[in-house]
Amino acid sequence: MKYKPLGASDVSASVLGLGAWVLGGGAVWGKDTDDRESVKTIQAALDEGMNLIDTAPAYGWGRSERVVGEAIRGRRDKAVVATKCGLWWADDRGSFFTELDGKRLYRSLRPDTIEIEVENSLRRLRTDYIDLYQTHWPSCPPEATPVPDTMACLLKLRDQGKLRAIGVSNVSLAELRENLECGPVVSDQFRYSMLHRQPEQDILPFCAQHNVATLTYMSLEQGLLTGKVGMDRQFSAGEFRTNTAWNPWYLPANRRKVLDLLGRWKTLTDKYHCTLAQLVIAWTAAQTGVTHVLCGTRNPAQLRENLGAADLALEPDDLARIRHDVVALGEPAPA
Ligand SMILES: NC(=O)c1ccc[n+]([C@@H]2O[C@H](COP(=O)([O-])OP(=O)(O)OC[C@H]3O[C@@H](n4cnc5c(N)ncnc54)[C@H](OP(=O)(O)O)[C@@H]3O)[C@@H](O)[C@H]2O)c1
């Protein structure tokens, strides 16, 4: 396993990280998770040197953090725990974001909600410090909190020893710059996959130039790029994969194109003796500006497979061929 520092911080995190959204379970994932298996998955990751574990309070309304807390008990020093603040559902502070599982979710980066959130996360994670604390989504109107106010609160929590490093997520380049002007932001987490390459236009080069670590998410397009979500797959109501605004590649006509493309990469998976998931993860990790790739991982079998990408180095011609193929696929057709 390779490790890279989170920006200028002293936190060294594995290049492949375990994404713990799925471990929160719930309707968004189509089927529930088994907490005992989730704990085993995280512990196996730590045993194999995958120390970066990304979670958030909103993943299963605290369940994902609780599972992470259970898994790291007795091995806290082996883990780089990344969690988030800014999605708030205790009351109506902040700006309404969305409704999920019957709960109204607000975007709030107000200091008073962050101070409550950090204590809740520390309790659920059974720890007295968080390695990387990220703002989940930027604050927005009508109740936008000025970035300096949010950053002042985060810096105070860092000075109190509750946070080792501060990161952001889902920000525009302008928002990232504004955060950086207020203090040391060591990482940016955002959606990036071979089928969703917009960050290559601005965020990725900027982060590379300014020593900001990048944590990519949905890099497997929620399993589509493993080749295991076939045309016959039935999705349940509320499953995030059916959210066509976020997941247009799951629409049948688009999915067909992706599956056909993946089929043509058999020459590559044969050459490297790897699976499609491993090929995709290795390609993602090799892109300019990408420092860390988060892979949502439900169980030990998926973990073992994804870990197999850690030492997979694709040759430049093959990296270029994959890029050529995904560019040729074009944009997904709308619903
Ligand atoms: N900051 C944000 O706003 C934000 C947003 C999204 C995600 N994230 C973070 O990024 C992480 C990764 O994103 P993600 O989980 O949404 O998407 P992802 O990593 O693209 O996909 C994860 C899903 O793909 C399937 N999968 C993974 N490995 C597999 C394998 N080897 N074989 C077959 N299927 C496999 C699993 O689904 P099944 O088990 O259901 O088949 C798994 O839950 C999240 O867990 C979270 O930590 C952050």
CA distance 34 to 40: 10
pTM above 0.95, yes or no: yes
22: Cβ below 6 Å to ligand 1? yes
295: Cβ below 6 Å to ligand 1? yes
188: Cβ below 6 Å to ligand 1? no
Residue nearest atom 44 of ligand 1, based on CA coordinates: 19
pLDDT at 39 over 90: yes
pLDDT at 30 over 90: no
Name beta bridge partners: 17: 294
Please check whether residue 89 lies inside any domain of the structure.
Answer: yes
How many angstroms is it from 19 CA to the middle of ligand 1? 6
How many angstroms is it from 306 CA to the middle of ligand 1? 11
Place of tokens 């409704």: 99
Return the ligand 1 atom nearest residue 29 CA: 40
Q: Does a cis peptide bond (omega within 30 degrees of 0) precede residue 142? A: yes
Q: What are phi and psi of 47, to 5 degrees?
A: -60, -30
pLDDT at 53 over 90: yes
Angle at 279 between CA 275 and CA 281, to 5 degrees: 115
pLDDT at 241 over 90: yes
Residue nearest atom 4 of ligand 1, based on CA coordinates: 217
Q: Percentage of the chain surpassing pLDDT 70? A: 100
CA distance 176 to 164: 19
pLDDT at 335 over 90: no
Please check whether residue 258 lies inside any domain of the structure.
Answer: no
| CATH code assigned at 36 | 3.20.20.100
For 78-127, the pLDDT digits (tens) are 999 999 999 999 999 999 999 988 899 999 999 999 999 999 999 999 99
Please check whether residue 246 lies inside any domain of the structure.
Answer: no
294: Cβ below 6 Å to ligand 1? yes
For 55-73, the pLDDT digits (tens) are 999 999 999 999 999 999 9
pLDDT attached to residue 237: 87
Please check whether residue 261 lies inside any domain of the structure.
Answer: no
Please check whether residue 266 lies inside any domain of the structure.
Answer: no
38: Cβ below 6 Å to ligand 1? no
Residue nearest atom 24 of ligand 1, based on CA coordinates: 223
User: Domain of 173?
Assistant: 3-221+274-311
Least confident of 125-134, 233-242, 265-274: 233-242
CA distance 298 to 220: 13
Over residues 223-229, the mean pLDDT reads 97
Question: Which residues are identified as catalytic?
Answer: 59
How many angstroms is it from 112 CA to the middle of ligand 1? 31
Residue nearest atom 5 of ligand 1, based on CA coordinates: 217
Return the ligand 1 atom nearest residue 30 CA: 40
Residue nearest atom 11 of ligand 1, based on CA coordinates: 19
Split into its structural domains, the chain has a count of: 1
Please check whether residue 175 lies inside any domain of the structure.
Answer: yes
pLDDT at 31 over 90: no
Over residues 205-233, the mean pLDDT reads 97
Please check whether residue 241 lies inside any domain of the structure.
Answer: no
pLDDT attached to residue 16: 98
Mean pLDDT of the chain: 97
For 307-320, the pLDDT digits (tens) are 999 999 999 999 99
Please check whether residue 291 lies inside any domain of the structure.
Answer: yes
Residue 284 contacts residue 221 (beta carbons within 8 Å): no
Return the ligand 1 atom nearest residue 223 CA: 24
170: Cβ below 6 Å to ligand 1? yes
Residue 91 contacts residue 49 (beta carbons within 8 Å): no
